[in-house]
């Protein structure tokens, strides 16, 4: 992940605004943000989208009980028809084995734009 390097004027302004919390803010910029989507409830319910994504092999979670429209995308489950050569070519070191409740399944990382392309066919 590329670490965000703020410009000097931005740093100065944030230091003024945040005061003692400035260092915590700078530390949080070093962490990769969660891959998340927000469900447009005018088009589809969160439950329906969750069901469709899981049927397509996506591993997702809804960590906020009061806000089910926020969905965290953890990865895509490798299935029987998954192209193994794609995984070998990418050499993704951060695949997750044996995720909670998943037994011996494996998650793969998303390619840039992959989630957007997948969602276009669901709605």
Q: Which of 88, 122, 94 is nearest to 110 (CA)?
A: 94
Cα separation, 84 vs 106, in Å, equals: 12
Instruction: Answer whether 11's CB lies under 8 Å from 84's CB.
Output: no
pLDDT tens track for 52-76:
998 888 899 999 999 999 999 988 8
Q: What long-range pairs does 114-123 form, CB within 8 A, spacing at least 24?
A: 114/76, 115/35, 115/37, 115/73, 118/53, 118/56, 118/58, 119/37, 122/44, 122/49, 122/52, 122/53, 122/56, 123/43, 123/44
Q: Which of 82, 73, 83 is nearest to 113 (CA)?
A: 73
pLDDT tens track for 34-52:
889 999 999 999 999 999 9
pLDDT: which is higher, 17 or 32: 17
Residue 89 corresponds to which tokens in the numbers above? 């070519």
Q: How confident is the model at residue 96 (pLDDT cuts 50, 70, 90)?
A: very low
pLDDT: which is higher, 92 or 103: 103
Q: What is the pLDDT of residue 107?
A: 61
pLDDT: which is higher, 69 or 5: 69
Ordered by start, the domain boundaries in the chain are 1-33, 34-120
């Amino acid at each position: 992940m590329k670490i965000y390097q703020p410009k000097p004027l931005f740093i100065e302004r944030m230091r003024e605004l945040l005061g003692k919390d400035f260092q915590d803010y700078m530390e949080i910029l070093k962490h990769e943000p969660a891959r998340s989507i927000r469900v447009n409830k005018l088009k589809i319910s969160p439950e329906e989208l969750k069901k469709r994504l899981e049927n397509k092999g996506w591993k997702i979670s809804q960590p906020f009980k009061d806000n089910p429209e926020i969905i965290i995308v953890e990865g895509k489950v490798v299935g029987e028809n998954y192209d193994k050569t794609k995984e070998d070519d990418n050499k993704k070191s951060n695949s997750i084995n044996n995720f909670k409740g998943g037994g011996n399944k494996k998650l793969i990382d998303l390619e840039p734009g992959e989630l957007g392309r997948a969602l276009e066919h669901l709605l």
